[in-house]
């Protein structure tokens, strides 16, 4: 069941109506039913695997909350089981032939919940149906955002119907559907067409821009629909993007892109590694031999390497994704090392305070991230070949003659729509003056989606990119 299908809209409306009709204490039942229908739409096997994972999580948390001894061992065993299941199904270690829908997202949610129970952040949920309603909250099942248990569970009983929040949710859904059907679908066709020209340096270069916009509009569209759907229930889900193309460095980019994953990795990987006994013991040796400066950096850099390795593996257990993670890691660490030099440079040269230099930093980050993103759709060998072709076989005059697989009118439409997204981001900054403008923009989006959206009988739209993760 796709987010941009009539089936999803009908399911969402039915569950929302049921949610507000039921007494507050049992409202989760409407979400639980919606979760079952949505999950089962991806097949019975997917349904069994997802709810089997939730049952294991429920039992682990309940046992952890009741025992005093061996809590750490039990928590580690649970995490190992979940990681094994993730790797087994996602990367076909034993050739099971089944890849459950969005397994990486709900696996991280489950692991985070059990670790929080182990840490004493909150008590284990004793109602398995409520737990399943929270973990498999169907708007976030496809591609997140990755939520914490307490971010969703409390709203099931506390929330009251809020017309403003409800209309805000509807607008957010419209915004997401517009981005997916009008922009991302066209960019997806262009990306696939350019990807076939893997021996043309100009096509490879142009594809950096096309893929960056395609990935953003597709992924953020799904998040918009998820967050908007949550608002219909009165549930506030975490944001996942904060204008990533305005980032001025790779570190800044990753603070703006897929933020829920970044926060999860910070809390459950970066901090535990930084303060682990092994790292603390090694740091004492580092301090003794190399001094305090090296000792301050060592835990940060070790944890950064682990985080980026995990990030690469999370996206895919192939060499291209591992290299992608490690290259991001190298850039981030180099940036940290050069931070004092940047500070001196910026202090000495006043032009760095101007808008032109700010734009330069944004473009530089966009291009660097685009080059790294080429590993998303290339093998390691193909990646280095593409880098060489961009240098040796790039002809700027060929850009406007390049076939994108879509009509010129579609290219113009995409460019106009991308500009409209930029305008919307400015409107959000000025809420008072932007209310009327935002409603007008939503009306235009509905009209544009109906007229220009790629959907209908016989048309098979592309799945959201991140559903494969």
Q: For residue 255, what are the contacts with CB-CB under 8 A and spacing of at least 6?
A: 242, 247, 262
Kindly state whether residues 141 and 255 are assigned to the same domain. Answer: no
Residue 461 lies in a domain: no
> Same structural domain for residues 100 and 196?
no
- β-pair partners for 241: 257
Do residues 121 and 179 share a domain?
no
Count CA atoms within 13 Å of residue 265 on its CB side.
21
User: How far is residue 172's CA from residue 166's CA, in Å, rounded to a whole number?
Assistant: 10
Instruction: For 257, list phi and psi in degrees, rounded to 5.
Output: -110, 135
Q: Which of 160, 186, 208 lies at the terminal end of a domain, its last residue?
A: 160
Per-residue DSSP letter, 403: -
Alpha carbon distances (Å) from 145 to 44, 117, 403: 24, 21, 35
- In this structure, the number of other CB atoms found within 10 A of the CB of residue 48 comes to 14
> What value does the CA radius of gyration of the chain take, rounded to a whole number of Å?
24
**Where does a domain end: 125, 160, 195?**
160
Report phi then psi at 210, rounded to 5: -60, -45
- Same domain for 151 and 176: no
Quote the pLDDT of residue 46.
Answer: 85
Same structural domain, 20 and 89:
yes
The CB density around residue 5, as the number of other CB atoms within 10 Å, is: 13
In three-state secondary structure terms, 257 is strand
Residue 464 within any structural domain of the chain: no
CA distance 185 to 183: 6
Do 149 and 192 belong to one domain? Answer: no
Q: For residues 157 and 112, what is the distance between their CA atoms, to the nearest angstrom?
A: 22
pLDDT at 266: 94
Per-residue pLDDT, 122: 86
The whole-number pLDDT of residue 398 equals 86
Round to whole Å and give the CA distance between 340 and 342: 5
198 and 258 together in one domain:
yes
Which helix or strand (DSSP H or E) is residue 198 part of?
none
pLDDT of amino acid 437:
66
Both tokens of residue 31? 């979400």
Indicate the number of domains in the chain: 2
Which of 204, 217, 227 minimizes the C-alpha distance to 375?
204
Q: What is the pLDDT along the chain (469 residues), one digit of tens a residue?
A: 788 888 999 999 999 999 999 888 888 899 999 999 999 988 888 888 889 999 999 999 999 988 888 899 999 999 999 998 888 887 766 666 677 777 888 889 999 999 999 999 888 999 999 899 888 889 988 888 998 888 787 767 677 888 888 988 999 999 999 999 999 999 999 999 999 998 999 999 999 999 999 999 999 999 999 999 999 998 889 999 999 999 999 999 999 999 999 999 999 999 999 998 898 888 888 888 888 888 888 999 999 999 999 999 988 878 999 999 999 999 999 998 888 888 888 888 888 888 899 999 999 999 999 999 999 999 999 999 999 999 999 888 888 888 888 888 888 889 988 888 887 776 655 555 556 666 777 787 787 788 777 665 555 556 776 666 6
462 lies in a domain?
no
Identify whether the C-beta of residue 252 lies closer than 8 Å to the C-beta of residue 336: no
Domain ends where: 160, 181, 209? 160
State the pTM of this model. Answer: 0.90
State which residues form the domain around 287.
166-452
Residues 155 and 187 in one domain: no
Q: Are both 174 and 131 inside the same structural domain?
A: no
125 and 204 together in one domain: no
| One domain for residues 262 and 351 | yes
What the block records as the tokens of 225 is 């629909």
Is there a domain that residue 457 lies in? no
Res 452: pLDDT:
78
Same domain? For 126 and 238 the reply is: no
Strand partners, 257: 241
Whether the Cβ atoms of residue 455 and residue 4 lie closer than 8 Å to each other:
yes
Cβ(141)–Cβ(105) below 8 Å: yes
Q: How far apart are CA 445 and CA 434, in angstroms?
A: 16
* Sign of the four-CA dihedral 305, 308, 312, 313: positive
């Amino acid at each position: 069941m796709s987010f941009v299908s009539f089936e999803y809209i009908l399911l969402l409306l039915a569950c929302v109506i049921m949610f507000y009709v039921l007494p507050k204490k049992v409202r989760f039942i409407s979400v639980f039913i919606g979760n079952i229908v949505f999950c089962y739409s991806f097949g019975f096997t997917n349904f069994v695997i997802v709810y089997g994972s939730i049952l294991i999580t429920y039992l682990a948390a309940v046992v952890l909350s009741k025992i005093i001894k061996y809590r750490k061992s039990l928590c580690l065993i649970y995490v190992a089981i979940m990681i094994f299941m993730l790797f087994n199904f996602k990367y076909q270690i034993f050739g099971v032939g089944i890849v459950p829908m969005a397994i990486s997202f709900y696996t991280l949610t489950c692991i985070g919940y059990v670790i929080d129970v182990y840490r004493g952040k909150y008590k284990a949920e004793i109602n398995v149906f409520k737990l399943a309603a929270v973990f498999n909250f169907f708007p976030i099942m496809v591609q997140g955002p990755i939520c914490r248990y307490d971010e969703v569970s409390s709203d099931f009983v506390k929330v009251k119907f809020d017309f403003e929040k409800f209309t805000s949710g509807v607008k957010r859904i419209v915004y997401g559907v517009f981005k997916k059907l009008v922009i991302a679908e066209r960019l997806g066709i262009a990306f696939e067409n350019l990807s076939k020209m893997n021996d043309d340096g100009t096509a490879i270069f142009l594809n950096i821009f096309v893929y960056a916009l395609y990935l953003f509009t597709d992924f953020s569209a799904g998040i918009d629909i998820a967050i908007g759907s949550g608002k219909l229930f009165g549930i506030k889900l975490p944001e996942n993007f904060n204008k990533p193309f305005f980032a001025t460095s790779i570190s800044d980019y990753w603070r703006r892109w897929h933020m829920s994953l970044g926060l999860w990795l910070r809390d459950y990987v970066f901090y535990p590694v930084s303060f682990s006994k092994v790292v603390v013991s090694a740091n004492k040796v580092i301090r003794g031999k190399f001094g305090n400066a090296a000792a301050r950096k060592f835990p940060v850099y070790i944890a950064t390497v682990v985080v980026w390795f995990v990030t690469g593996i999370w996206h895919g257990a192939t060499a291209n994704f591992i290299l992608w993670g490690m290259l991001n890691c190298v850039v981030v660490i180099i940036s940290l090392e050069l931070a004092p030099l940047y500070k001196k440079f910026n202090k000495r040269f006043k032009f760095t305070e101007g808008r032109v230099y700010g734009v330069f930093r944004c473009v530089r980050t966009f291009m660097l991230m685009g080059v790294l993103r080429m590993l998303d759709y290339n093998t390691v060998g193909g990646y280095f070949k593409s880098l060489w072709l961009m240098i040796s076989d790039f002809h700027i005059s060929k850009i406007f003659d390049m076939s994108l697989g879509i009509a010129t009118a579609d290219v113009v439409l995409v460019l106009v729509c991308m500009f409209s997204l930029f305008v919307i981001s400015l409107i959000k900054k000025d809420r008072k003056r932007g209310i009327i403008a935002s409603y007008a923009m939503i009306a235009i989006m509905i009209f544009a989606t109906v007229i220009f959206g790629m959907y209908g009988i016989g048309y098979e739209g592309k799945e959201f990119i991140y559903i494969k993760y």
